[in-house]
């Protein structure tokens, strides 16, 4: 089951896609040794067909007029770790006003090396 937030009472079966626009980048430093990078985003409401859907060609259509977790309310959760993000750019859909096609991009000089057998926690320990 997937939840949109910790306060969500309507779990959905399967993976819930999240699409957002980057608003701010925050770097937290601990003792000048450890750093955590957070992305603050405006999130489209992908829980129903008013904010997210797939067209007949398999494109992901996102409507940013339906947003959740904008950060304006105390209950909002607009932040993610930088390691949780995937690069996407949006192209306006000329046939449907307000809808954007989300195009996933493989960043330059980033290669999928497969599973090396280390968990993300073990990789962080190795880096220190």
Q: Where are the domains of the chain?
A: 20-127
Q: Is the pLDDT confidence value at 42 over 60?
A: yes
What is the rounded distance in angstroms from the CA atom of residue 20 to the CA atom of residue 8?
A: 18
pLDDT of 5 over the 80 cut: no
What pLDDT does 12 receive? 60
The Cα–Cα gap between 46 and 56 comes to 18
Q: What is the mean pLDDT of residues 62-76?
A: 80
pLDDT of 65 above 90: no
Contact present, 106 and 116 (Cβ < 8 Å): no
Q: Render the burial of 13-45: b for 16+ CB within 10 Å, e for the rest.
A: eeeeebbbeeeeeeeeeeeeeeeeebbbbbbbb
What is the pLDDT at residue 95?
87
Q: What is the pLDDT of residue 68?
A: 84
User: How is residue 35 written in tokens?
Assistant: 């750093």
């Amino acid at each position: 089951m997937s939840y949109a937030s910790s306060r969500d009472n309507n779990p959905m079966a399967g993976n819930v896609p999240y699409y957002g626009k980057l608003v701010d980048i925050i770097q937290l430093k601990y003792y000048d040794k450890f750093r955590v990078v957070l992305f603050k985003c405006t999130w489209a409401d992908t829980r129903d067909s008013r904010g997210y859907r797939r067209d007949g060609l398999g494109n992901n259509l996102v409507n940013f007029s339906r947003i959740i977790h904008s950060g304006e309310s105390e209950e909002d959760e607009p932040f993610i770790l930088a390691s949780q993000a995937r690069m996407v750019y949006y192209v306006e859909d000329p046939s449907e006003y307000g809808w954007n096609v989300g195009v996933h991009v493989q960043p330059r000089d980033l290669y999928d090396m497969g599973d090396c057998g280390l968990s993300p926690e073990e990789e962080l320990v190795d880096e220190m």
